Structures are given as structure tokens and as C-alpha cells.
Amino acid sequence: MKEKWTTPRTVIEEFTPNEYVAVCWGVCCDVDLANQYEKDNKPYWSWKTWWELGCSHDNEHCGAIGNQVIKDANNDGKAESMIETGTNGLGDLPCTLHGISIGNVKVDDYIYWTTSASDGRVWHHRGTVVATVPNRPNAS
């Protein structure tokens, strides 16, 4: 067996993450405030309040910080949308933010969003944005 001498060389491997998310915040619905809104307001097309139509909030669902999920559909590190998961049988519901673009949301913002079911019900949510890893803003 004959060995061949090769010149030593350095090979640099570039790290490429398979998923990149630069959004490091979460939000949960203030269920008491949201339930009061549903009890006090009616859609323009109904004599019943949202509450009477079946729109209620609880800590197990929209009140849980892990149930609002931020999506980076383009894999560019920027949030494009938010969905609510864990909806008690309704599947994943898209969240519509009001008064602010999801790309501009930051920790300590008070945001308002709605979710809608296919049967026409609309839930009105409000909550304060919190850091998912306090003291480490870029540790998603």
C-alpha cells in the first residue's frame, strides 16, 4: 500500500440554522377584561352579545402564554403572523392584530387582537407583551 502526501488545508463550514426566529416575546389574553368585553358588546348583526354567542376566554386557552404562536412563514427572521393554538376543539385560529403590525410589536406593548371561527364568532383579546426569556432578549 502506497501512501500519498497531501498538503494540509483548512476547511471552514458555515453554520446555517434550519430555523431562525428573532421574535422573543409572548402574549396571553387578559381573560377577565376580555370576558367583560364579550358580555358588554354585540355584533352589528345580532341581538345577542358575543358572550351569548359563545365567545368566552379562559386561562387554559387564550389565557395561556404558549397558546399564541408567532409564525415566520418566509424564514427571514421576521414575524409575519400569529395564531392561537389550544382552542378547545376549534383548531388553530389566525390572530388579527389591531392598531399595530406584528413586525412592530415589542416587549411591554399592550396589544389588541381578534380570532375568528368559521361559524362567524369573533373573540376579542387584549394582553401585555412579555419577554419569553427575561434578561435575554435574543434567546428565543
Which residue has better confidence, 16 or 86?
86
Is 92 inside a domain boundary? yes
The CB-side HSE value for 30 (13 A sphere, CA atoms) comes to 13
Is 104 inside a domain boundary? yes
100 within 8 A of 111, measured Cβ to Cβ: yes
For residue 94, the cross-strand partners are 83
d(C-alpha 22, C-alpha 8), whole Å: 39
The model's confidence at residue 19, banded by pLDDT at 50, 70 and 90, is very low
Q: Which of 48-52, 72-76, 85-89, 103-107 has the highest mean pLDDT?
A: 48-52
Is 86 inside a domain boundary? yes
Residue appearing with cell numbers 426566529: 21
For residue 123, the cross-strand partners are 115
- Count structural domains, the chain: 1
* DSSP H or E run through 32: helix 31-40
d(C-alpha 52, C-alpha 92), whole Å: 22
Is 17 inside a domain boundary? no
- Report the predicted TM-score, pTM, of the whole model to 2 decimal places: 0.75
Average pLDDT over residues 85-90: 86
Average pLDDT over residues 89-112: 91
Is 16 inside a domain boundary? no
Is 113 inside a domain boundary? yes
- Report whether pLDDT(102) > 60: yes
- Report whether pLDDT(10) > 70: no
For residue 15, the cross-strand partners are none
Note down the domain range covering 117: 25-131
Is 56 inside a domain boundary? yes
